[in-house]
Amino acid sequence: MEKIWLKHYPAGVPATVAEDQYRSVVELLEESFHRYRHQPAYICMGRRLSFDQLDQLSTRFAAFLQSRGLQRGDRVAVMLPNVLQYPVVAAAVLRAGLVLVNVNPLYTARELRHQLQDSGARAIVVLENFAETVQKADQPLDLVVVTGVGDLLGFPKGAITNFAVRRIKKLVPAYSIPGHVRFGSALSQGSGQPLSKVELKPDDIAVLQYTGGTTGVAKGAVLLHSSLIAALLASEAWMQPGLKRRPMSGQLTIVCALPLYHVFAFVTCGLLGMRTGALNILIPNPRDIGGLIDTIKPYKINVFPAVNTLFNAVANHPKASELDFSELLISNGGGTAIQEPVAKRWLELTGCPVVEGYGLSESSSGITCNPTDSDTYTGTIGMPMPNAEVRLLDDDGNDVEFGQPGEIALKSPQMMAGYWQRPDETANSMTADGFFKTGDVGVIDERGYLKIVDRKKDMILVSGFNVYPNEIEAVAAGCPGVLEAAAIGIPDKSCGEAVKLFVVKKDPNLSIDTVKSYLAEHLTGYKKPKHIEFRDELPKTNVGKILRRELRDAELKRG
């Protein structure tokens, strides 16, 4: 496909970025540790961690990992929320020449067991709140390191926090893991050990980033050091126009409410923050919107990455007006479609439009994005970022014409090397000329802007007509009184499948008839939901994606 988008690139953004500037992510991180040594890198629960402290602590923990017999290329699972231990451990794993396996702390024992087995992890670092899950997963591990929420908060705050979490809030279920090591002890042991420098190469594996599993068994996307560097440098180049939107009075400050174990936050907050010398405000529990607002209230925030549900929740919270958005430069949305009513409300509140992007675990996070100096919401996922190539394919693998829907296929140095130990899955996901088939259906306009139509597997077939849930949900979100909505297809005798819409109310007086009337105004006949059900909440991943699959499965069981 002709790269028509390059004609519409923001001024100063290059078409390509040389990813060979660094041999490894470690080289890039160590440069930042030195360059920004005296600046704070992370803050959590009032405790700051400077780049220098991050350097020292990760060196000690890396030395500890090596002292326990872990060898270059061994996998280390990291099962932590957004606490200060995460960046320390992640940097340490990479500096020790090991492979980081990001794990969702809210996994069940079954889900964790699959990931440990599939990755072949030899070690795990886990928050004590979830240590019981590691015990129940019952997998052979050479090393288990357990940490408490307060372990890096200093004295006496750390001790008080751990006591409150364990004894007062009772958030740490009893567990028994023979031979486990406490995080503080690991740091102490590491301080007496030398760190053996590992000469990493661009094609060494850095991270196994497991897909969400929303369309099947979770698979590990193999992200090389070169993949992550390419993604990081492309994102850095892409953000520059947005950073010039208005003057910034202090250190670049990022709200890190999305979980760092997810590829979006891992790259956009964690790695990009360290690359640019930014301060990341870590939010351990983003579901507590009031707490999130209280945490970021003292700061002039500059970058706010979020998903639709988080933008929506913050924008509709009564305390949102207390936040200082005067220096908010970039509100980057991803993970799932940003709905227009949510984008409008966010712009009204902050004066900074949501710039929607698109990425996958397989693409090392964002690979398309709207220009970061945009002044309006476009309803698209923007254009391919530096180094990226895009094709739109029909069911036979042929390119479709501009303006026609097709499966989005991507090629870039930031793409994964394949699925971990799944050569057949890897081959099935690729075209003969090396493009990754995403499973997402999109259209591209004359400027090179992409618009997601939907996941191929989520498409609803009503009497032979294709119906895309994203469209139904976006329309429903515009109905006064609707907070959130999710659409699925359910079996129907008369038309094959019928649309069912699940709605969470913002207005308790909202009626089904009101929703039906609103949708009738905005949707053609075959797209209108045949069934509408009110729910108190919708099932979501930790990143905030609504799980249509769970809704579908429940409907099928109901019959």
> What integer is the mean pLDDT of 14-38?
97
Instruction: For 244-297, write each residue's pLDDT tens digit.
Output: 999 999 999 999 999 999 999 999 999 999 999 999 999 999 989 999 999 999
> What integer is the mean pLDDT of 103-130?
94
Q: Is the pLDDT of residue 216 over 70?
A: no
Whether the CB-CB separation of 454 and 440 falls below 8 Å is answered with yes
Beta partners for residue 127, in sequence order: 147
Residue 152 lies in a domain: yes
Both 465 and 491 in a single domain? yes
* Strands of the 40-44 sheet, one edge to the other: 47-50, 40-44, 279-282, 253-256
Predicted local distance difference test score (pLDDT) of residue 188: 98
Q: Is the pLDDT of residue 468 over 60?
A: yes
Alpha carbons 13 and 28: distance in angstroms, whole number: 21
Q: Please name the residues in contact with 264: beta carbons below 8 A apart, sequence gap of 6 or more.
A: 258, 305, 334, 335, 359, 365, 366, 543
> What integer is the mean pLDDT of 336-346?
91
Instruction: For 407-444, write each residue's pLDDT tens digit.
Output: 999 999 999 999 999 999 999 999 999 999 999 999 99
Alpha carbons 426 and 424: distance in angstroms, whole number: 5
Residue 337 lies in a domain: yes
> What integer is the mean pLDDT of 339-355?
95
The CATH number of the domain holding residue 390 is: 3.40.50.12780
Pairing of strands 389-393, 406-411: antiparallel
Both 193 and 262 in a single domain? no
Q: Name residue, tokens 């930031």.
A: 414
Instruction: For 443-462, write each residue's pLDDT tens digit.
Output: 999 999 999 987 777 888 88
297's torsion region: left (phi>0), alpha (psi -120 to 50) or beta?
alpha
State the maximum Cα–Cα separation within the chain, in Å, rounded to a whole number: 73
Predicted local distance difference test score (pLDDT) of residue 496: 83
* Strands of the 354-360 sheet, one edge to the other: 331-333, 354-360, 365-369, 383-384
Residue 215 lies in a domain: no
Both 378 and 399 in a single domain? yes
Both 376 and 480 in a single domain? no
Q: Is the pLDDT of residue 212 over 90?
A: no
Cis peptide before 156 (omega within 30 of 0): yes
Residue 506 lies in a domain: yes
> What integer is the mean pLDDT of 28-36?
98
> What integer is the mean pLDDT of 239-246?
95
The CATH number of the domain holding residue 109 is: 3.40.50.980
Predicted local distance difference test score (pLDDT) of residue 213: 53
Q: Is the pLDDT of residue 215 over 60?
A: no
pTM beyond cutoff 0.75? yes
Q: Is the pLDDT of residue 100 over 80?
A: yes
Whether the CB-CB separation of 542 and 104 falls below 8 Å is answered with yes
Both 480 and 440 in a single domain? no
Residue 10 lies in a domain: no
Both 289 and 188 in a single domain? no
Among 200, 230, 247, give the residue marking a domain's end.
200
Predicted local distance difference test score (pLDDT) of residue 461: 83
Number of domains in the chain: 3
Whether the CB-CB separation of 177 and 192 falls below 8 Å is answered with no
Whether the CB-CB separation of 492 and 507 falls below 8 Å is answered with no
Q: Is the pLDDT of residue 214 over 50?
A: no
Alpha carbons 52 and 61: distance in angstroms, whole number: 14
Among 428, 455, 482, give the residue marking a domain's end.
455
Domain residue limits at 111: 21-30+46-200
Both 178 and 245 in a single domain? no
Both 443 and 496 in a single domain? no
Residue 507 lies in a domain: yes
Residue 41 lies in a domain: no
Both 405 and 257 in a single domain? yes
Q: Is the pLDDT of residue 87 over 60?
A: yes
Both 231 and 376 in a single domain? yes
Whether the CB-CB separation of 284 and 81 falls below 8 Å is answered with yes
DSSP letters spanning 464-529: TEEE-HHHHHHHHHTSTTEEEEEEEEEEETTTEEEEEEEEEESSTT--HHHHHHHHHHHS-GGGS-
Q: Is the pLDDT of residue 218 over 90?
A: no
Both 268 and 192 in a single domain? no
Mean pLDDT over each residue of the chain, to the nearest integer: 94
Whether the CB-CB separation of 498 and 492 falls below 8 Å is answered with yes
Instruction: For 476-506, write each residue's pLDDT tens digit.
Output: 999 999 999 999 999 988 788 999 999 999 9
The CATH number of the domain holding residue 483 is: 3.30.300.30
Q: Is the pLDDT of residue 94 over 60?
A: yes
- From 293, 389, 304, 301, select the one nearest 338 (Cα to Cα): 304
Predicted local distance difference test score (pLDDT) of residue 237: 98
Residue 2 lies in a domain: no
Instruction: For 306-315, write each residue's pLDDT tens digit.
Output: 999 899 999 9
Helix (H) or strand (E) holding 231: helix 225-243
Among 439, 455, 471, give the residue marking a domain's end.
455
Both 232 and 270 in a single domain? yes
Q: Please name the residues in contact with 101: beta carbons below 8 A apart, sequence gap of 6 or more.
A: 75, 76, 77, 78, 115, 119, 121, 207, 208, 210, 220
Predicted local distance difference test score (pLDDT) of residue 323: 96
Predicted local distance difference test score (pLDDT) of residue 389: 96
Instruction: For 502-557, write each residue's pLDDT tens digit.
Output: 999 999 999 999 999 999 988 888 899 999 999 999 999 888 889 998 999 999 88
